[in-house]
Amino acid sequence: MADRIQLNQKSYAKLSRRGVILGSLQTAFIATLAFRMRKLQVEDASNYRLLADENRINIRLIAPSRGEVYDRNGKIIARNEQSFRITIVKEDAGDIEQALFSLSNLIKISQSDAKRIIEETKRSAPFLPVTVRDQLSFDEIARIAANTPNLPGVSVEQGLSRVYPSFESYAHVVGYVGPVSDSDLQGGNETNPLLKIPRFQVGKVGVEKHYEDILRGSAGVMKVEVNALGRVMRNLSRKEGKPGNNIQLTVDTALQSYIQARLGSESASAVVINCKNGEILAIASSPSYDPNKFVKGISYSDFNELRDNELRPLASKTVQDAYPPGSTFKIVTALSALEANIIGPKDTFTCSGKMEISNRFFHCWKNSGHGTMNLEKSLSESCDVYFYELALKVGIEQINKMATKLGLGVKHDVPMSAITKGLMPSREWKLNYRKQEWLVGDTVNASIGQGYVLSSPLQLAVMAARLASGKKVNPILTKSINGQNVHNLSNIEDLDIDKSYLKIIRKALFEASNDRRGTAYGSRVIDNTYRMAGKTGTSQVRNITDAERENGVTKNEDLPWKRRDHGLFINFAPYNKPEIAVAVVVEHGGAGSKSAAPIARDITLQALFKGNPPLEVYPAKDRSAVFERQNKLGEVLKELEIFRENKV
């Protein structure tokens, strides 16, 4: 018995020790757990609350309203318009192909769009919306709204879309916007979150592209609450972004539209510049295209039609294309000779119709020759041989230097796309780029604007403006940004050319337009207040063989269109007090006196009168044709305005 009691006492002592140890461990665990819970709930509560909020709240960007573009008179050129798009959510719609089939009975969905939608729904999360169609009409919205119960996962959203009310008139100037492409995401834009907003649009060409950063604005922010799957549960806050800056251009919409209509179906271009300050009043290329098609997403057939058109409607001919300036370049050769004191205004050369240089004949456009010519008569009647003689004496380097002073061979800074520098050749240029020595014949060709010389219509207009004003005016297309003037036009420096030489050239150009022997006499203005001074140009695009000269040179109208000469004309007016300078180029139009000069005269008078000029300023023989043309153009412009009002 005593042994049993002793054993029990030993066992009890052993159990008690175990209980104490176990209890201690439990107590320590509970204490540790309590301490940890206190740390989590009290000390670290704010940190974990922030993490929880970050997991619960998404920040989404709101696309800003794009800045608008206006003309010099405040007329809208590019604006934003409320638009509606239809989206589909795969998770709610179920069978995407069946949903698209149901939608196609209500709105038009192309096969390419259907393919794109299916691919996008496969790539994106099932709860994210995918755009089916943008810029829906009210009729389409109404049809979808009426059938909403039968269209699960389909919804209509509201946004802004770019609209160009003038359609073709400003396509080459303002350009257009389009969806962000891979090329848009290069050059530091790879990480820009704004450019990754679905269906966000950026400037592709023209003013829209040049001023992209200014027009774009800054994004707004929207906070939304999402569940664990990332689906939006509710909107928490919304802060609108800063809209883009508005831009005012120097162009005049009425004049721009008139020029576009006046150029008609010709492959041509025209530039009108204010002689006093360089503001571009109009800059038009023909034919043109509707930029709104690119905003909406141009079809392959429409794009291919534009791309394959031999008249090149997509090209900005005024700044992108460069042409042999032809006889308009004789102004440069004449001024370089005067400045080098090689010739005076009364000095003469005799033109027999051709001139032999290095065992090769260089011909004048007048086979029988012009006879004895001085500087004024040679410019007025456009004698080639006279300028061959000058070229041999003055040399290409002096001609190159003068051309640069007048704005040729210079890449002018205007906010348009693919601006050409043109080409004003020199000995160094030919050696570097052609790996050939400069020849005497190269200088002779250059003296009459042929050979290697190339100039854009914008450059030719700048040359005319500088001749007229005696100032180093530079072309300006942007008037103001958000109401703040961009350029200081009050102090334009004088042109580095002797004023007496400029006076001689201006007088010669006046004779070219007003003397009976002048090449532009057929396009003269008879009202003394508005008389213009100008120079015709005809640039060859093919070689004329000696055999053809002997048998008779083929007339332009008898040649295929692409082998005909280009027609050019530059002028300024009024002669006594110049206000505007004009340059017109008609591709393959034949002689500049017949193709370009009549167009330039109409544009000049339209700009000076700010509308149709009175018939009395035209010669009597032209008034009937001018009256008929004014009426026809008036009808075209009226129909175009009605069309724009109905479409926009």
Paired with 249 in beta bridges are: 478
**pLDDT band at residue 241, thresholds of 50, 70 and 90?**
confident
Q: How far is the C-alpha of 466 from the C-alpha of 636, rounded, in Å?
A: 34
pLDDT confidence band for 178 (50 / 70 / 90)? confident
Fold for the domain defined by 253-617: Beta-lactamase (3.40.710)
Q: Give the pLDDT confidence score for residue 43 in this predicted structure.
A: 64
In this structure, the number of other CB atoms found within 10 A of the CB of residue 142 comes to 12
Return d(Cα 308, Cα 322) in angstroms, integer: 20
Q: What is the pLDDT of residue 490?
A: 79
Give kind and range of the element (H or E) at residue 372.
Answer: strand 371-373
Burial of 338 (0-12, 13-18, 19+ CB in 10 A): buried
What pLDDT band is residue 240 in, cutting at 50, 70 and 90?
confident
Annotated catalytic residue 327: yes
Residues 564-591 have pLDDT tens digits of 999 999 999 999 999 999 999 999 999 9
Cα–Cα dist 495/462, whole Å: 12
Secondary structure (3-state) at 636: helix
Q: How far apart are CA 478 and CA 485, in angstroms?
A: 9
pLDDT of residue 47: 58
* One-letter amino acid of 642: I
The closest alpha carbon to 448, from 391, 381, 507, 503, belongs to 391
**Residue 423 to residue 213: CA distance in whole angstroms:** 31
Query: pLDDT higher for 160 or 211?
Result: 211
- What is the percent of the chain with per-residue pLDDT over 70, rounded to a whole number? 88
Report pLDDT digits (tens) over 304-315.
999 999 999 999
The angle subtended at Cα 248 by Cα 247 and Cα 249, nearest 5°, is 120
SS3 call for 485: strand
Q: In terms of residues, how long is the chain?
A: 648
Q: Any idea of the CA torsion for 117, 119, 124, 130, to the nearest 10 degrees?
A: 0
- Among 65-69, 229-233, 317-321, 526-530, whose mean pLDDT is lowest? 229-233
Give yes or no for residue 412 having a pLDDT over 70.
yes
- The answer, yes or no, to whether residue 58 has pLDDT greater than 90, is no
User: Per the structure block, which two tokens stand in for 476?
Assistant: 């300006």
Q: Which of 285, 327, 378, 595 is catalytic?
A: 327
Could you tell me the CA-to-CA distances from 57 to 24, 49, 60, 233 in Å, in that order? Answer: 45, 12, 10, 10
> 520 with 575: CB under 8 angstroms?
no
Closest to 94 in 3D by CA, of 28, 44, 154, 41: 154
Residue 222, C-beta contacts closer than 8 angstroms, at least 6 positions apart:
59, 60, 61, 62, 235, 237, 238, 239
pLDDT at 30: 78
Least confident of 68-77, 312-321, 362-371: 362-371
**Which comes out higher in pLDDT, residue 610 or 81?**
610
pLDDT for 40 equals 63
Question: Contact, 127 vs 229, CB < 8 A?
Answer: yes
Distance CA 323, CA 267 (A): 13
pLDDT > 90 fraction of the chain, expressed in percent and rounded: 57
CA distance 203 to 201: 7
Cα dihedral 481/485/486/487 (nearest 10): 160
Greater confidence (167 vs 34) lies with 167
- C-alpha closest to that of 170 among 206, 137, 119: 206
pLDDT band, very low/low/confident/very high, at 423 (cuts 50, 70, 90) = very high
Percent of residues in the chain assigned helix, strand, coil, to nearest 5: 45, 20, 35
Per-residue confidence (pLDDT) for residue 640, from 0 to 100: 75
pLDDT level of residue 401 (50, 70, 90 thresholds): very high
Residue 128: per-residue pLDDT: 65
Q: Which helix (H) or strand (E) holds 69?
A: strand 69-70
* Res 122 pLDDT > 70: yes
> What pLDDT score was predicted for residue 1?
53
Residue 83 CB coordination number (10 Å): 18
Which one of 182-191, 194-203, 534-543 scores highest in mean pLDDT?
A: 534-543
pLDDT digits (tens, 9 = 90+) for 83-98: 887 878 777 778 888 8
- Name the pLDDT band for 179 (thresholds 50, 70, 90): confident
In this chain, the answer to whether the domains covering 59-249 and 253-617 adopt an identical fold is: no
Structure tokens at 424: 């004003």
pLDDT at 524: 96
Domain ranges of the chain: 59-249, 253-617
Note the pTM of the prediction, 2 decimals: 0.84
Higher pLDDT, 225 or 76: 76
Residues 6+ apart with CB under 8 A from 294: 176, 177, 178, 204
**Mean pLDDT for the chain overall:** 87
pLDDT at 390 over 80: yes
Q: How confident is the model at residue 123 (pLDDT cuts 50, 70, 90)?
A: confident
Q: What is the pLDDT of residue 647?
A: 57
Rounded-to-integer distance, Cα 579 and Cα 191, Å: 49
CB atoms within 10 A of CB 243: 17
Concatenating the DSSP letter of every residue in 52-68 gives HHHHHEEEEEEPPPPPP
pLDDT of residue 562: 87
Q: What is the pLDDT of residues 463-514, one digit of tens each?
A: 999 999 999 999 999 999 998 998 888 789 999 999 999 999 999 999 999 9
**Would the pLDDT of 54 be above 60?**
no
As a three-state string, the secondary structure of 235-304 is: EEEEECCECCCCEEECCCHHHHHHHHHHHCCCCEEEEEEECCCCEEEEEEEECCCCCHHHHHCCCHHHHH
Considering the domain 59-249 in this protein, what is its CATH number?
3.90.1310.10
User: Looking at per-residue confidence, does 589 or 187 come out higher?
Assistant: 589
Residue 186 has pLDDT above 60, yes or no: yes
Q: What crossing angle do the helices spanning 457-469 and 330-339 adopt, rounded to 10°?
A: 40
* pLDDT tens sequence across 127-169: 667 778 777 878 888 888 788 777 787 877 777 889 999 889 9
Whole-angstrom distance, CA of residue 50 vs CA of residue 43: 13
Measured between alpha carbons, how far is residue 433 from residues 320, 321, 403, 409, 503 in Å? 21, 20, 20, 16, 37
Quick one: pLDDT at residue 12? 56
